[in-house]
Structure 1
Amino acid sequence: MSITRRSFLKGASGTAVSGMVPLSLSLPMNSAFANTTNDYRAIVCLFLHGGNDSFNMIVPGNNDAQYTTARPDIYLSNEEKLSIPDSEAGQALAINARMPNLAEMLNQGQGAALLNIGTLVEPTNKQNLYDVKKPNNLGAHNKQQTAWQSSWGDSGYHPYGWAGLMMDVLSSGSVVSDSMSFSGNELLTGTISKDISLSSGEIKAMDALGHSNAVNNQFTALVNSPYGSDFKQTYNQHLKGILDFQTELQSVVDTYPEDSSIPSSSLGLQLRMVRRMMQAATDLGHQRQVFFVNLGGFDNHRSQRGRHDGLLETIDLAVSAFHRSLDALSLSEKVVTFTLSDFGRTIENNSNQGTDHGWGSNQLVVGEAVNGGRSYGRYPSFVRDGDDAWGNKFIPSQSSEQLGATLCRWMGLSEQGVDLIFPTLSPSHNNAFSSRYLGFLGDYLDKEQEAELPILAVSASETRVDHTPEMAIDGNLFTKWTAKGQGIQYLIELSATSTVTKLLYSQAKGDVRQYLFDVEVSNNGINFELVTQVLTPGNTTGFVEQLIGKTGVNFIRLTCNGNNGSDPKLVLWNNFQEIKVLGYTA
């Protein structure tokens, strides 16, 4: 690599973008909106065009009668699925058996499933479905593709992608864009940042250069012609600069050969080029890179099983091989691949052994940076028009923008930057999301600041005068709060809005029986998000640690449901000897 080439690629100034940019979306580079380190990081978006039936990708792990009843023609048998980590709510889950490599990665903590996630403007459930604002054109391919790739403003989706707005802040300023794609998209479009178009074998600076040799020769002769007006000569020089740029950039990429261990499928070839561009990052002056790859064929309204299973196998082979290949480059902890798709599919299969357009979906995030060992969120019940459904569609319980915000934060965007790009996630909303983030990239949490959080107040829906709620936070393991019944709620109010990393609790008789309780969090004490359903270990009266990983928390609610002890007279009793909340203030 010559100094001249390196200087050309790292030092050339970017092209200004004409037109007025809304002030609210003008994110200054190297400002309070960025909180980056000097390491390298990259995200790879794998967009599954057509609407992936992700509820036949991630499925119930047990013999779920609701699942098989809803999908009699397309359900996965026990032999056709592989176990993966449980949901945060403790539900057993599995992945389609045509994805064994990704199953292994998820079980090794190198990835996670995101459950029932979709496009939302505000938290939505069966009870408030007709009272909240919802995205426009649910079920429309083009509109929902836009919704996944952008973020909601005052009254509609921004004309920019959330990753493009992020790179407006984080971009290196190199003449070679830090954002690269293999197909048209909105995700990488910023107010300043634009993506460069790649193909699986070469750089496509101009479409003309992808044509025949005769066309290329005519084009080269045109730009080198010494004849014509001053305007024509100026324009020719501009085109010649583009030719020189492409030639120079291609020569950089050519120094990094393809990795043939990644399959030669359409998706695999895209990921081969992504790997080469990652290898060239230092030569290009990039510390942050964003890639958009794609795979089509997911709009299966009929005869779904064979085609869909084959597509999942293609994903499994290509993505797992790509991440294995990153190990040799010492990039395995620096790259996160994630899936997006138009929407999920319907709860029930149709009469043509296919599925129709839905709403909520499951997505995958893969990479050693992922906080694996669990699946994020709660898997919905397979009941048409049930508690988790709007007719034949699942109502998302997690927002696509929470996914985007989590990735942006990990890439180095500050809280201020996240607030500006994703205003719907602001905790100041009346109907606010319980957290901006989903927790699968806890690397953005500053673990060194973790400490016991001060508790402002506690209360309970049932109590005894000699075993009050305050006795569970008095620092004395010989006192306790107790109450009898199912659905008893113990409420903790923190002194300040906080990121809660862990809950520590101890229980009387915790060494001889297992207690059951749900953990929920909220920023306003009204709208609560279920974090997990706990079945205590039953072997200790000491402190037990429960991971939380939620930001923007003001309230924690523990809903107690008794215990599984052998004495039927005692199974409805609940207690906490002591409770501690760990994390740091927001």
Structure 2
Amino acid sequence: MPDINRRKFLLASAGVGALGLLSGAAAVEWPDLMAAARRQPLAQGSGIAVIVTLYGGNDGINTLIPYGDNAYHDARPELAYAPADVLHLDDRLGLNPAMTGLHGLWQDGRLAIVRGVSYPKPDHSHFRSMDIWQTASPDEPVSTGWVGRWLDSTGDDPLRAVNVGAVLPPMAVGERTTAAALTTTRSHAGDIDSVVAALSAPDPRDTDVMAAVAASYRATGTADRTFTHLGHTRSADGSSLSAQLDTVAAAISAGVPTRLYMVSLGGFDTHADERGTQQRQLQTLDRALTPFLRRMSSDQHGRNVVVMAYSEFGRRVRANASQGTDHGTAGPVFVAGAPVRGGFYGDEPSLTDLDDGDLKYTTDFRDIYQDLLVRVLGADPTPVIGGGRSGLRLV
């Protein structure tokens, strides 16, 4: 392991985006959440948002499948699903066959599918597009995320938003307040452990920001050990989406006063051999999200949970030569939970009226954020995403 200048590394880690370990991060352990639940339990009737980020750019066209459109089959002769294989939602659209649980939620009226979601002048870069989604600023780069700005505008307790995992996403960072970072698994080994230990050791020369970053490293180890003793069921891979949502469910059931949780699943960058890869990833999503929502529907606090699952962009309409798809623009966003008004929202993008091979977006993602802020979190959306958004009345 190369020698690391501790001071330079901690200063770099305090910058927005550097390994996701951001200035002001509050590193927490499971006992901290339980203490908060005892001290100030979640008020009955409080809405809770769970944000699921699907990293890599999920192919929305093979997720919400326009099986009744000949243009779909023409553009993807080998990659398209036959109508008989699709989980039908109506006579034109259906879900990927891996999404049986979400299909059941649709039938129960608890799944909303927002179609054609993107933003003006979409960017094909993973990093820039994800930055736009997480900062809610399509026009220019900003240093704060939309969840961070919500925290800034509503108080100073970082436990109001919790990221399950030690690496905070940019959405979690405000100007004055940052969401709490919760680690659930032991993920370091060998010489990496020694480096983390060195970085986390207190040093009287540290600035306040450097001390906060060091604390987040320090808590990674202690929180990992704490979670090995949790009584609720977890996956053997504690970083899996199922394990992340198990942790969220346990916190909600315990009355932890967190109003917004962040979890994630990667692996959606399907440039080659897409069909099998994406179907496995969508099955992972479905098998994690469906039992979580069913568990929450019978929980006194979970009855008010609303989940949003999104990806940084969709894929191009036409399959490439490697039986995959390349970076595109618009895609569907899924919003689910007991308070959700199920159904379709936003217009379905045309597969033939394209922008240089890309779908033309029909719904601005900030309108979904508007609903989460106003109807789930009970917050003023203007300091977070600006004014003038109408929302979709999903909840």
Tell me which interval the TM-score lies in, with the shorter structure as reference length: 0.7 to 0.9
Structure 1: segments with no counterpart, 5+ residues = 12-35, 121-133, 205-209, 427-434, 442-586
Paired letter, 2:242: G
Change (3 A) 1:257 1:394: same
Instruction: Sort the Cα spacing of 1:252 and 1:369 in 2 relative to 1 into closer, same or farther, 3 A.
Output: farther
Out of 52, 57, 60, the position equivalent to 2:63 is: 57
1-structure distance, mates of 2:54, 2:69? 27
Partner SS state of residue 115, structure 1: strand
Counterpart selection for 1:150 from 135, 142, 154? 135
**2:365 alignment counterpart:** 400
- The structure that is strand-richer by fraction is 1
Shift in Å, 1:305: 0.8
CA distance in 1, matches of 2:325, 2:218: 49
Counterpart residue number, 1:480: none
Gaps of 5+ in 2: 1-30
Tell which has more relative contact order, 1 or 2 (C-alpha 8 A, sep 6+). Answer: 2
Give the TM-score normalised by structure 1.
Answer: 0.53
> Does 1:197 find its partner at 2:181?
yes
CA RMSD of aligned residues (A): 3.9
Q: Structure 1 pair 93/332, CA: closer, same or farther in 2 (3 Å)?
A: farther
Deviation at 1:191, TM superposition (A): 1.5
Aligned to 1:493: none
Deviation of 1:244 after TM superposition, in Å, equals 9.6
AA at the equivalent of 1:329: D
Contact 1:111–1:370, Cα closer than 8 Å, also in 2: yes
Distance 1:294 1:273 in 2: 13
Aligned to 1:377: 346
User: How far apart, CA to CA, are the structure 1 residues paired with 2:100 and 2:368?
Assistant: 24
TM-score normalised to structure 2 length: 0.77
SS of residue in 1 equivalent to 2:334 = strand
Distance (Å, rounded) in 2 between the aligned partners of 1:113 and 1:195: 28
Corresponding letter in the other structure for 1:315? L
Partner of 2:26: none
In 1, are the aligned partners of 2:87 and 2:100 still within 8 Å (CA)? yes
Instruction: Say whether residues 1:315 and 2:285 are aligned partners.
Output: yes
Deviations 1:16-51 (A, max 9, x none): xxxxxxxxxxxxxxxxxxxx9863332222111111
Say which one has the larger Rg: 1
User: Aligned to 2:233, which of 243, 259, 262?
Assistant: 259
Residues 422 and 37 of structure 1: CA distance in aligned 2, closer, same or farther (over 3 Å): farther
How big is the shift at 1:163?
Answer: 1.5
CA drift at 1:252: 8.3
Show the counterpart of 1:119.
Answer: 119
Separation in 1, partners of 2:33, 2:70: 63
**What secondary structure, in the 3-state scheme, does the structure 1 residue paired with 2:335 have?**
strand
* Equivalent residue, structure 2, for 1:130: none
The more displaced of 335-344 and 164-173 is 164-173
Q: Which of 180, 201, 205 pairs up with 2:163?
A: 180
Kindly report which structure 2 residues correspond to 1:324-473, keeping only aligned pairs within 5 A, or say none: 324-372=294-342, 374-383=343-352, 386=353, 389-414=354-379, 417-423=380-386, 426=388, 436-441=390-395
Q: 1:189 to 1:64 in 2, by over 3 A?
A: same
Distance in 2 separating the partners of 1:321 and 1:269: 12
Partner of 2:101: 101
Which one of 36, 55, 74 corresponds to residue 69 of structure 1?
74
Q: Deviations over 1:198-253 (max 9, x none)?
A: 33437x9xxxxx5569967x959x979xxxx9769x99x99998899789978987
Matched residue, 1:524: none
Quote the Cα distance in structure 1 between the aligned partners of 2:212 and 2:131. 33
Cα shift at 1:371? 0.6
Query: How far is 1:80 from its partner?
Result: 1.5
Distance 1:370 1:334 in 2: 9
Residue 80, structure 1, aligned to residue 92, structure 2: no
| Corresponding pairs, count | 357
Runs of 4+ in 1 over 6 A off after TM superposition: 5-8, 229-232, 237-255, 261-265
Q: Is the CA contact (8 Å cut-off) linking 1:323 and 1:367 kept in structure 2? A: yes
> For the residues of structure 2 that align with 1:41 and 1:437, how far apart are their CA atoms?
17
**Partner of residue 252, structure 2:** 278
Q: In 1, Cα distance between the equivalents of 2:69 and 2:213? A: 61
Structure 1 SS opposite 2:286: helix
